[in-house]
Structure 1
């Protein structure tokens, strides 16, 4: 059947598709025209039809191609528009950088000129290394410098200042170099003045002091600029000198001792608060009872087992013993004590009767007088085989093990005076008793314990009352009352200090006024006060606290927000931060410092660009000292890629010698080194150790102290105090160990966001790392020789984390002689 073509008109369709009659008529008519030669109709019709069909097809194809191209072009335009115009709403990003995006204008020619000047003006031993030049020439807004022990960072910092001032025209008034202690500040000032003078840029002492500061001396002028605080004094600086007008003395941020001037303010605040605040009085009573009560002894303690057998005999002589003890107190003028009823009540101990000396109604507790340690230990009662002191010791042990009455055992005449002052309501007296917060190594006067705990909390950037409100303790834990009392007292103390004339404020309070929680206060400061914070260079940055970090970040944000107007007409534009530190030397976590801010520098101080420098050369010690110290500390979390290399003149490789504790042998070794002409550091962990070693090194002490200060070669310090120092021979006395667990510090550590997530003992964990870092600091003080004298296992206790656990066996850099006899030891000068 023929294919139908619906697109053609009927007259142009093929003949086969026409009706039969029309087909016949068309053929006849067509034949006629053909014969007459008029036209060939059939051919014409079919040619026309064929032409139409081919034209129609070509037209469709051409139109299709043109339409497709136009359609694609329009489609592209629609797609491109949709790419640039998303359907969803997106907010702009936040620029949280502390600095503008800028670079120091350091050309290759300028660097070459500076290097030539340094080579010409400084001696060969002071020429910077490649890494030190990278630190000096850092052109980014922020720079972190990892500088291990003996890295020679001080000269590099001075050359950095020289670059900014002498070569780039920055004003000294736009920069601050921060050191942590008075001693390091003094040393840096001298070095700065010395080097700048070589470049024809002499600097006076006052100008240098204005640049090289502690954090404390930089915050004080900020607070004094506020109305009403022009003569403000820092609580930490209160002493006889400040009263005489010397109020610019820098305090040591790690100084914990309370002086007499400070104590007067604490006691006055306490007395006023105790008189007017009922809840505070209620809290002090259980604290006093707990603090003054005789500490319990377990009944299976060896002393208890030894003395329990003489309980009955001791009871028979107890009344006469009470008479003898009271006679001693009478003669010393220490008894009776006002506020204590001299009432001899009996106490049952294992069925036998013993006596107390008095009763304190205010505390609802009984009193027993002790044997003052200053009395003659050989005093005895007539006819008695034992001394009064020995009889008293038996009674004390039995009371510790078996007495469960509220009981105060007054140990000495001196402690009775403090208790007397407190009970008498003396306005200048404090509470009159010591208190030991769980986790602390020793007890301290209650108000000293308040200051220490509040200082730790505030160093973490926390508010004391707020932090206390988030703590929790067991119902019968006396620390629960301690911290509630602290919260009340601390607010009262701040108010009391501000009421003085002139007003007084703690440094922590000053830093919090200008921290990230109160950025509006920074708006009150003039450009002149903020400008010295523009270019900050901070040493020992691993020991910075969260409180200081908050102040630094808030200050840098304020400087950036003020923009170019703050720097009009000045060479120093924008702002920068250069921090030098060593996370392996972070040893002040017990005061609230943390290496976190240095280890995570780029995160904590966001910048459009930063430079990181690793100063891996050690110009102090030989490789064995370096390797021994690093082996100890490498178990701690640390900045990756750290490995120090001994530099400078080669020294003989002598291992770090580890020995059992032997004070006499230590004294002989120390004397031999002193006679050889070596400088010596004698480092100890506890003040009691210093006293024990004294008799064995007294000859050296006497000889050295007779010399002029510049010629002395012996220093005795704690491990913590020795940072930054060095000596030919270093003697370490005692292990570095974490002895206690601190429930309250673990809680506030987590509040401050420190420690690993989910670690309930975040502070204790940090301290286990810190004891390793403390050993690292001690060992790396040594130039040539290091001796480490460690107590036996029994003295240290079982399961106590300690640095000596990391001493390597079979390594060339350690010579572990523990357990050997003196004649078996090698490597000694003796």
Structure 2
């Protein structure tokens, strides 16, 4: 079999001419003299031909370097394709394989060294990927140790290995060993592990510390390390390392300390209303009449929680007036800044406290819970100045920390005294310790492929000073310090290793460690992040630099429609603009994108409804989705089910949903499903999933699966039941600034990407269903993605 680089050299005849001219000039002269002496003209007339061989008069013009990584030659597939098709046809006749579609054959037999395969849900990409590996190994003569299939999770790799061993075993009669498959199919992080250990002074990764995840040195090559981002929870050992770095920096770096203290203040600050009505109207009128009484009542409730806090002047006073002279009251002042302090109903208020009766002249008696809510809304909409707001125990602690450190001499501060407080960066869903908040955002920034401090320095000067600004300033100082503290312990984060290896020069990494990356097939490519893409390209470029006569190749397989991990740095943009991120040599032509359009999983009604969701996605690969399974009686797309007018506690949602799930489970069993997946239930919250599993245990309800939306990706069942809406979450100012500063996503904010991702997540949920889909939400009108189906009369049933 001819190697891709064994094509005939188009310049070979010119080189041969020059060689002859140098070796036999005298012989040429003799030929010419003889010809003239023996009737040159007569011989010419008789049809004889005399060749004049001349040396070129000038040297060849040197060519510029081509920036493309892949090429210049394509794979020689003409003869190999015939052989592959013939062998597959034989195996299909023997009922050992299913016949690939022409779209699948285009992937299996692709000749371009940089190929992107956009394969939708249920398109059969996994088996096709395995057949591509067989074609490369058995017909393109690529060595076993020069090819690697990469996926994200240990579970997906195990599935691919099983399929590869079975299918490749149809060609290799001696069989395919488990250890061989382990070396050929790897997670990103297991592949990175061995290279990093050989190239860097590193004992282990920060993400492997604690939780039983540490690997012995002798297991490096065979380590099957899972994606560390699959779990968002830090181990106690990891938290201790972060806390240690944070405490030391707080005690020794005055600028970092100032940023943290400013962040404490800013996190409590509420800005003045952007536009204030000229006068109080409607319900605000009654809120103002009772405001002093509510302020006094809240002071009494907070007195059980330590009010007045240190640093507070507990003086109730009117801190602003409306245009018509209506007064609203603060509960006190901050001694250090004289900022007004407004107390809100404590987040941990008891039912008795919420039910306290508030009375004021001109108003009907009402409960403190209701009155405090009106007071909070009124002040936020009317206040003409900034103020400090305290409504949670965490906020009260934050204020106390701020007051304590604002007056403390820096010489008194030790690491043990550094404030460890819970913090919720605007845009996040939950409060975490401040060092964890810094780590989460630092890791996200690095996933974009740039060092944290470098990217943060590209953010333009702020127009206002708010907590995102102080948080960014603190992070820019914390991240280098954290990495340095890890290196002193011979630890590094995966992201720091990726950045270090991406900038490696020839000779810094043993080529033998990179051999397996010469030909890469990346599964679930829609979940890749820029930092991983940059690393893959950098390692392959080192291979080219070591010997540019040996080619490299990459094939990405996935579906940007199912990209649902943007919150941890993954980007479908790499998939959408593949040719720009993975440049090919000019002689080879730009990277190729292939599209799978057949859906072998879901019936037409399900596919049609899934496509309705994708119409809402702003950035995506445009392709058709053609359902293959026939419709049967009773099959349907999305059926909406309302179970209330407001969000409920997880246990309440589970109790409400259990009868519906049981009914649909019984209906699915009556369909005699051919597999063990009759019903798959998906929830937005893990707590709802856990509550449902307790009510509907697998031992009692066979063929019933219960997962979160993210866990369900890759699974399927006859009936899919979706619980709760897929929504984009809160605006995220800090990540919006990071997105813009990175330059990677022009005219595309993080908030917009989150909106797109919400619809993609819903698409993943709908396409888990083969024949029927039910979507249960508290209130359709209040949803983001579910309401896409409200006006769809053909499949809409409101229960």
Q: 1:777 aligns with which of 764, 771, 787?
A: 764
Q: 2:125 aligns with which of 153, 173, 188?
A: 153
Contact 2:422 2:431 in 1 (8 A): no
Q: CA RMSD in A?
A: 4.4
Bigger radius of gyration among the two:
1
Contact 2:130 2:167 in 1 (8 A): yes
Mapping 1:69-80, distance limit 5 Å: none
Cα distance in 2 for partners of 1:447, 1:582 equals 35
The answer on 1:279 being equivalent to 2:255 is yes
Per the alignment, residue 215 of structure 1 pairs with 188
> How many positions carry a matched residue from both structures?
690
Q: 1:311 to 1:560 in 2, by over 3 A?
A: closer
Q: 1:457 to 1:783 in 2, by over 3 A?
A: same
Unaligned residue ranges in structure 2 (runs of 5+):
1-53, 360-364, 406-413, 645-652, 670-677
Comparing 200-209 with 153-162, which one deviates more in the overlay? 200-209
Mapping 1:77-476, distance limit 5 Å: 92=64, 94=66, 96-104=68-76, 106-107=79-80, 110-116=83-89, 118-119=91-92, 123=96, 126-165=98-137, 170-197=142-169, 199-229=172-202, 231-233=203-205, 235-242=206-213, 249-253=225-229, 255-293=231-269, 305-314=285-294, 318=297, 322=299, 325-326=302-303, 328-329=304-305, 340=310, 344-348=314-318, 371=346, 373=348, 375=350, 377=352, 407=388, 409=390, 411-412=392-393, 427=416, 431-437=420-426, 439-440=427-428, 444-472=432-460, 473-476=462-465
CA offset at residue 498 of structure 1? 1.2
CA offset at residue 283 of structure 1? 1.4
SS in 1 for 2:421: coil
Comparing 488-497 with 240-249, which one deviates more in the overlay? 240-249
Per the alignment, residue 816 of structure 1 pairs with 796
Cα distance in 2 for partners of 1:323, 1:636 equals 50
Cα distance in 2 for partners of 1:486, 1:428 equals 20
The answer on 1:496 being equivalent to 2:472 is no
Q: 1:379 to 1:406 in 2, by over 3 A?
A: closer
Per the alignment, residue 654 of structure 1 pairs with 635
Contact 1:358 1:368 in 2 (8 A): no
CA offset at residue 152 of structure 1? 0.9
TM-score normalised according to structure 2 size: 0.74
Cα distance in 2 for partners of 1:263, 1:347 equals 43
Cα distance in 1 for partners of 2:346, 2:761 equals 39
Cα distance in 2 for partners of 1:388, 1:808 equals 37
Q: 1:263 to 1:191 in 2, by over 3 A?
A: same
CA offset at residue 672 of structure 1? 1.3
Unaligned residue ranges in structure 1 (runs of 5+):
1-80, 330-334, 566-572, 797-801, 823-830
Comparing 618-627 with 155-164, which one deviates more in the overlay? 155-164
Cα distance in 2 for partners of 1:143, 1:444 equals 42
Any idea what the Cα deviations from partners look like across 1:203-225, whole Å, max 9, x if unmatched? 44444333222222222222211
SS in 1 for 2:481: helix
Q: 1:498 to 1:769 in 2, by over 3 A?
A: same
Cα distance in 1 for partners of 2:690, 2:243 equals 36
Q: 1:489 to 1:816 in 2, by over 3 A?
A: same
TM-score normalised according to structure 1 size: 0.71
Per the alignment, residue 621 of structure 1 pairs with 602
Cα distance in 1 for partners of 2:791, 2:351 equals 50
Per the alignment, residue 680 of structure 1 pairs with 679
SS in 2 for 1:225: helix
SS in 2 for 1:288: helix
Any idea what the Cα deviations from partners look like across 1:30-57, whole Å, max 9, x if unmatched? xxxxxxxxxxxxxxxxxxxxxxxxxxxx
